[in-house]
Amino acid sequence: MTRPALRLENIVKTFPGVRALDGVSFEVLPGEVHALMGENGAGKSTLMKVLGGIHQPNEGRILVGEEPAVMANPLEAKAKGIVFIHQELSLAEELSVAENIYLGELPRKSFGRVDWATLYARTDEILKKLKVGFDARTMVGTLSIANQQMVEIARALTVDAKAVIFDEPTASLTDSEKVVLFEVIDDLKKDGVGIIYISHRMEEIFKITDRISVLRDGEYRGTLVTKETTEDDVTQLMIGRSLDLSRNHEHAEVGDVALEVRGLSCGDLYRDISFEIRRGEVVGFYGLVGAGRTEIAETLFGLRAPSAGQILLDGEEVHLGSPVDAIARGISLVPEDRKGQGLVLGMNCRDNMTLPQVGDLTAGPFVSDGAEIAIFDQYRDKLDIRTPGWRQTVGNLSGGNQQKIVIGKWLSMHPTLLIVDEPTRGIDVGSKSEIHKLIRQLASQGYAVMVISSEMPEVLHVSDRIVAMYHGELIRTFTSDEVTEDSLIQAISGIRTDGGDKAA
Amino acid sequence: MAPGTWSTFLRRGAIWAFIALELAFFSIAGEFLSVSDKAFMNWDNMLLLLKQSAPLGIIAMGMTLIMVNGNIDLSVGAIFALAAVILLDSMTWPFMAAMGDWSFLLAWVFALLAGVALGALNGFLVWKTGVDAFIITLGAMLGFRGLVFMYNGENPTSHLNWTLVDFAEAQFLGLHTATWFLLVVTAGMWWLMNRTVHGRNAYAIGDNREAAVNAGIRVGPHMMINFMIIGFLAALSAVVFYSESGSVNPNDGMLYELWIITAVVLGGTKLTGGSGSIISTLGGVLAIQILRRGLNHIGADTSTVNLVIGLILIAVLFLDRQLNVKGKEALRI
Ligand SMILES: Nc1ncnc2c1ncn2[C@@H]1O[C@H](COP(=O)(O)OP(=O)(O)OP(=O)(O)O)[C@@H](O)[C@H]1O
Ligand SMILES: [Mg+2]
């Protein structure tokens, strides 16, 4: 039997009020892809941060090869060959791609000078392997989220790694970028690098991993060999029950048209878009990243002025100049980038959730604590948000729980039209089905819901109708009865098939 | 052209366009309003303007580094004064006096070392206590100023060394000694920030501190070095200025920190860190100096000068914001 590349033994890690890890052991063999799974807040990222020198464990030890090792800081972990690709983007936006990839270890010449020639040459070599469309000198802030993620991934290739940790690397990648990522992982594997792979996406896990370890509430639950197990087994281990992932849901009673869009265009971003969403209806927007869906959502939320076309709410034409207008008219947007757009990371859970309506929650001139807490409690229960209490700083929550706070925030506004952009990115299977249920439930209560998603199972699962987009154009609108996976894939690749009324 | 390049160019170029505008305005307005009969764009006048920019300018270069790093240093005015006191007083010490005229070289070393030490103290506290640099240096500003007063009460500290005065008043290739110091410091800091690992790390830390920590950059020591650099530059500025004047009042350098921060911000450095440029800071320093001199030239008094500079600062930041939003096309909720 091969010796593990590294091993964590009986790791305990507590934060004030939280026992994030409770005696967890985990190992990865050289040349193995080992998945780490668990619900949001199960402790996956925390375990990896212990390994990466960001957190110090209260108990337990780390072995690199046979040697016990102390990772006092990220530098030491790196020196021992551990590369950490973070879940939340960890990039300096005003710096170049090259400087970000080699952050903390820029190649030097005499007098502490940066060796730019080497830096750019090495970076371009890595970028070539990753087949990305930008070069070493590009400023990171000008890249899309997906491309920024590729910059993070590029870091795995800079050093002679013993082990590489990928913490939800695919959350914002397109399919073609995923293929590249999996090639990279394959290459690393061939070089005998141990890979730890965290993801909530079962299909990926079953495609690329060799073994799966499961955490639950900070405890180690077991390790399965991927080839010999099923999705259901993993889910059982993760959340203690099976999930109903069937596609069919009851159609809610469809009411009046809540939103109608006619011939909407915005420069090159999207052109001549027409659709309507009725009360009680969920309309899914499916397409590749960059198809223009987010931009339409931003227009509807008053963030991006259209160059042509009309927006009608309840049959009345509106001009949405700012999010304030949009919110006043009952439109809510759960944005795609929660860290940059959805949350104030330094603020506590409750204040984040009540932020857009805090002006209404007053008793006399003061903000009413009680009302705020009541709202927080209601949505914490509804969405099953794992936090020790409303006082917890949002930045300390696990990624998935942060997303739930954003959703809770907008749900608590009781919007007429709820737009959700990638609602379950980074969310575990259990909560994902909760959120899907919630979206259906909102529809049945008479809300109009617009769901933007790059995950086919998700759009198929929640939508009454599906709008397929390609390069800023609306290719076709499907009803949930007529849609098939094949026709959907064709549509988002720009292939128009007959049979759909284009302007539904 | 990559996206954002145009707006970056505009932002970088804006301060120089502003300077050109100022020069044009004061030249024309000077024709009608001037209290002197000399033209504003007179060669000597411009040389003097550069020379007078030096004391603030030298420190502003250090402040750019500190602010790009995501910190701020309010104690520079006090360090400036304390270094000046040490510079002038040390030349009267018996063993120094015995060394004759050239003792000033040692006096410089004392003053500069004092600046570095005070900066190190600031940096060490910021590193070890984790308290915001604003608070630490606010305390330091009061404390260091207290030391200045303890030294000599309300009285000025004076010493004239003629070798030194000759040196300070010298002109080389037309430029004054102080101007040369400013130019060398600007070049040196530009090199540090754009060419060295330390400088690039300063940008990274200011931009995303967590990312820098994750990447294994040792943020604390890094910041301490930056505070030592600005301490050094504050002392250097005192050395350059007081070598010539030979007398320091305990109130000298008060409000310097505000002028310096104004110049740096005018030059486009972000208060939140992560972005800024040494060359644009030089522009900011010159713009303020031209404004002060120009307003004097057309007969405005000090209070008008302050009011105008305040208004211009706000207008410039507003414009910068507009440009930024357009250039980035990043729409944040
Ligand atoms: N710095 C911190 N301070 C306090 N609590 C923390 C901190 N970091 C993590 N936690 C808590 O530890 C628990 C585990 O969080 P962790 O981020 O490891 O979850 P995760 O398994 O990565 O979840 P996800 O799938 O959502 O990313 C959570 O309850 C979280 O709130
Ligand atoms: Mg996580």
CB of A149 within 6 A of ligand 1: the answer is: no
Distance in Å, alpha carbon of B55 to nearest chain A alpha carbon: 27
Q: What is the DSSP letter of A58?
A: S
CB of A398 within 6 A of ligand 1: the answer is: yes
- pLDDT of A440 > 50? The answer is yes
For testing contact with chain A, the best of B207, B213, B222, B271 (most A CBs within 10 A): B207
- pLDDT of B32 > 90? The answer is no
Give the pLDDT confidence score for residue B315 in this predicted structure. Answer: 83
Q: Rounded to 5, what percent of chain B is helix, strand, coil? A: 75, 5, 20
Q: In this complex, is the C-beta atom of B326 within 8 Å of any C-beta atom belonging to chain A? A: no
For testing contact with chain A, the best of B8, B329, B331 (most A CBs within 10 A): B331
In chain A, the residue whose alpha carbon lies closest to the alpha carbon of B1 is: A138
Residues of B in contact with A356 (CB under 8 A): none
What is the CA A63 to chain-centroid distance, rounded? 31
Count of domains in chain B? 1
Structure confidence at residue B329 as a pLDDT band (50, 70, 90): very low
Contact between chains at A95 and B213 (C-beta distance less than 8 A)? no
In this structure, which topology does domain A243-330+416-504 adopt according to CATH?
Answer: Rossmann fold (3.40.50)
DSSP B125-167: HHHHH---HHHHHHHHHHHHHHHHHHHHTTSPEE---HHHHHH
In chain B, the residue whose alpha carbon lies closest to the alpha carbon of A299 is: B331
Instruction: Return the number of other C-beta atoms located less than 10 Å from residue A34's C-beta.
Output: 23
Residues of A in contact with B271 (CB under 8 A): none
* Closest ligand to residue A199's CA: 1
Query: Considering the domain boundaries, does residue B305 fall inside one?
Result: yes
- pLDDT of B280 > 70? The answer is yes
Residues B96, B107 contacting (CB under 8 angstroms): yes
Residues within 8 A of A (CB atoms), B 275-314 only: 275
Residues of the domain holding B133: 14-23+38-325
Distance in Å, alpha carbon of B198 to nearest chain A alpha carbon: 7
In chain A, the residue whose alpha carbon lies closest to the alpha carbon of B196 is: A113
Q: In this complex, is the C-beta atom of B211 within 8 Å of any C-beta atom belonging to chain A? A: yes
Q: In this complex, is the C-beta atom of B330 within 8 Å of any C-beta atom belonging to chain A? A: yes
Q: In this complex, is the C-beta atom of B3 within 8 Å of any C-beta atom belonging to chain A? A: yes
Query: Considering the domain boundaries, does residue B317 fall inside one?
Result: yes
Percent of chain B with pLDDT over 70: 91
CB of A400 within 6 A of ligand 1: the answer is: yes
pLDDT digits (tens, 9 = 90+) for B217-273: 999 999 999 999 999 999 999 999 998 888 899 999 998 999 999 999 988 888 888
Distance CA B34, CA A353 (A): 60
Average pLDDT over residues A395-413: 82
pLDDT digits (tens, 9 = 90+) for A232-282: 888 888 877 666 655 556 666 788 899 999 999 988 889 999 999 999 999
Half-sphere exposure of A489 (CA within 13 A, CB side): 5
Structure confidence at residue A2 as a pLDDT band (50, 70, 90): confident
Three-class HEC string of B209-227: HHHHHHCCCCHHHHHHHHH
ipTM score for this prediction:
0.83
- CATH topology of A6-239 equal to that of A243-330+416-504? yes
In chain B, the residue whose alpha carbon lies closest to the alpha carbon of A340 is: B332
Query: Considering the domain boundaries, does residue B30 fall inside one?
Result: no
Give this prediction's pTM: 0.79
Q: What is the CATH number of the domain that holds B133?
A: 1.10.3470
The residues spanned by each domain of chain A are 6-239, 243-330+416-504, 340-414
Phi (first) and psi of residue A45, to 5 degrees: -65, -35
Percent of chain A with pLDDT over 70: 95
Query: Considering the domain boundaries, does residue B31 fall inside one?
Result: no
For the record, the structure tokens of B64 come out as 């750019």
Average pLDDT over residues A172-201: 88
Look up the CATH number of domain A6-239: 3.40.50.300
Residues A266, A231 contacting (CB under 8 angstroms): no
- pLDDT of B150 > 60? The answer is yes
pLDDT digits (tens, 9 = 90+) for A441-454: 888 888 899 999 98
Q: In this complex, is the C-beta atom of B225 within 8 Å of any C-beta atom belonging to chain A? A: no
